[in-house]
């Protein structure tokens, strides 16, 4: 299942870690995860979200503000009954934990390029295999997953197709054009339109959209810390001016949460994957 990120040979248990036949070895961190991100695959010293961003997301999500989103994601995952699944871009693990609860008998994996995120995430569901790894070079074997979960995360479509077994699918959760509209109106003089179907044009041959649905609800943000954390966990936290950010944090407001779920299935046979 796991493969070496350097030579792609299978990884096997070795002492307190993993090793391949070419003697590349990887220790298990004391928190329980494996770091399978070689230095040559990094584009910076510590890629991905930093500790402050991860903590902001953890506080906001653990506050229950997006609980309906996680509940629907988990329910959809349970409907598809995967034997093996991967959360690709798991962040601090909030959605991963909810999905794992819905799939107690499945073999679960989760990865993120941020070591700070995975350090915290692996405490949520110790039964999963937690990895620090690149989403463009996922250290899992071809056709090894029945379900990939991608939540508010960039996606390498070629890797997704490679990882999925025939008949397996990608469960993608992302924003619609109305998501956080009131927040964006407070932050910018001109709110750019967002095409919430642009990702469909990226679906590779041999995969197709099998199901799509949306979930929308109002969210009242009465707590200043929650408003600050929401800003910190979105791109708006650094795109908007400091003055606009301070104004958002200062006063309670209601915002629309509007999310789209897509189930994108791999249909081609193993012989025609190339």
Per-residue model confidence as pLDDT tens digits over 132-149:
999 989 999 999 999 999
The H or E element that residue 217 is part of is: strand 207-221
Between 222 and 39, residue with greater pLDDT? 222
Say which DSSP state 3 is in.
Answer: B
Mean pLDDT of 238-255: 92
pLDDT tens for residues 160-170?
999 999 999 99
Predicted pLDDT of residue 80: 95
Predicted pLDDT of residue 48: 64
Predicted pLDDT of residue 6: 94
Give this prediction's pTM.
0.93
Predicted pLDDT of residue 220: 97
Say which DSSP state 272 is in.
Answer: G
Task: Return d(Cα 96, Cα 46) in angstroms, integer.
Answer: 22
CATH of 44-272, one of 3.40.309.10, 3.40.50.150, 3.40.190.10, 3.40.980.10: 3.40.50.150
Query: C-alpha distances in angstroms, 173 versus 27, 159, 176?
Result: 32, 17, 10
For residue 269, name the pLDDT band (cuts at 50, 70, 90): low
pLDDT tens for residues 12-27?
999 999 999 999 999 9
Predicted pLDDT of residue 41: 58
Q: How far apart are the first and last CA of the chain?
A: 20
Predicted pLDDT of residue 51: 85
Predicted pLDDT of residue 274: 44
The H or E element that residue 55 is part of is: helix 51-62
Is the pLDDT at 257 greater than 90? The verdict is yes
Q: Quick check: 118 and 130 in contact, CB under 8 A?
A: yes
Q: Which residue has the tokens 């993608």?
A: 172
**Tokens (6 digits) for 209:** 């959209």
Predicted pLDDT of residue 273: 45
Q: Give the bridge partners for 38, in sequence order.
A: none
Nearest to 90 by CA among 66, 137, 57: 57
For residue 2, name the pLDDT band (cuts at 50, 70, 90): very high
Say which DSSP state 125 is in.
Answer: -
Task: Return d(Cα 232, Cα 257) in angstroms, integer.
Answer: 16
**39-46: which pairs have CB atoms within 8 A and are 24 or more residues apart?**
41/5, 41/134, 41/137, 46/114, 46/115, 46/116
Predicted pLDDT of residue 40: 60
Q: Give the bridge partners for 129, in sequence order.
A: 109
Say which DSSP state 179 is in.
Answer: T
Task: Return d(Cα 132, Cα 111) in angstroms, integer.
Answer: 6
pLDDT, the chain, mean: 92
Q: Give the bridge partners for 254, in sequence order.
A: 220
**Tokens (6 digits) for 71:** 């509940």
Is the pLDDT at 272 greater than 80? The verdict is no
Task: Give residue limits of the domains in the chain.
Answer: 44-272
Predicted pLDDT of residue 193: 84
The residues near 15 (Cβ < 8 Å, ≥ 6 apart) are none
Predicted pLDDT of residue 250: 96
Task: Return d(Cα 172, Cα 200) in angstroms, integer.
Answer: 11
pLDDT tens for residues 40-99?
655 656 666 788 889 999 999 999 999 999 999 999 999 999 999 999 999 999 999 999
Sheet containing strand 17-19, edge to edge, reads: 12-14, 17-19, 25-27
């Amino acid at each position: 299942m796991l493969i070496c990120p350097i030579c792609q040979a299978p990884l096997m248990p070795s002492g307190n870690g993993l090793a391949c036949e070419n003697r590349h070895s990887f220790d298990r961190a004391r928190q329980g995860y494996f770091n399978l991100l070689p230095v040559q695959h990094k584009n910076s010293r510590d890629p991905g979200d930093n500790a402050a961003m991860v903590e902001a997301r953890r506080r906001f999500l653990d506050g229950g503000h997006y609980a309906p989103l996680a509940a629907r994601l988990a329910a959809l995952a349970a409907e598809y009954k995967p034997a093996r699944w991967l959360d690709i871009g798991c962040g601090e693990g909030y959605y991963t934990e909810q999905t794992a609860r819905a799939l107690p008998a499945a073999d679960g994996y989760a990865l993120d390029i941020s070591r700070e995120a995975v350090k915290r995430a692996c405490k949520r569901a110790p039964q999963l295999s937690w990895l620090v790894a690149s989403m463009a070079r996922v250290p899992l074997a071809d056709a090894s997953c029945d379900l990939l979960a991608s939540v508010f995360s960039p996606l390498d479509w070629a890797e997704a197709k490679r990882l999925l077994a025939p008949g397996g699918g990608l469960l993608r959760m992302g924003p619609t054009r109305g998501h956080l509209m009131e927040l964006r109106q407070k932050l910018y003089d001109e709110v750019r339109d967002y095409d919430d179907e642009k990702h469909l044009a990226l679906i590779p041959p041999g995969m197709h959209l099998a199901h799509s649905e949306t979930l929308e609800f109002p969210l009242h943000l009465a707590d200043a810390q929650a408003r600050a954390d929401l800003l910190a966990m979105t791109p708006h936290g650094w795109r908007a001016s400091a003055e606009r950010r301070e104004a958002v944090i200062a006063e309670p407001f209601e915002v629309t949460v509007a999310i789209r779920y897509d189930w994108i299935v791999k249909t081609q046979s193993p012989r025609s994957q190339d």
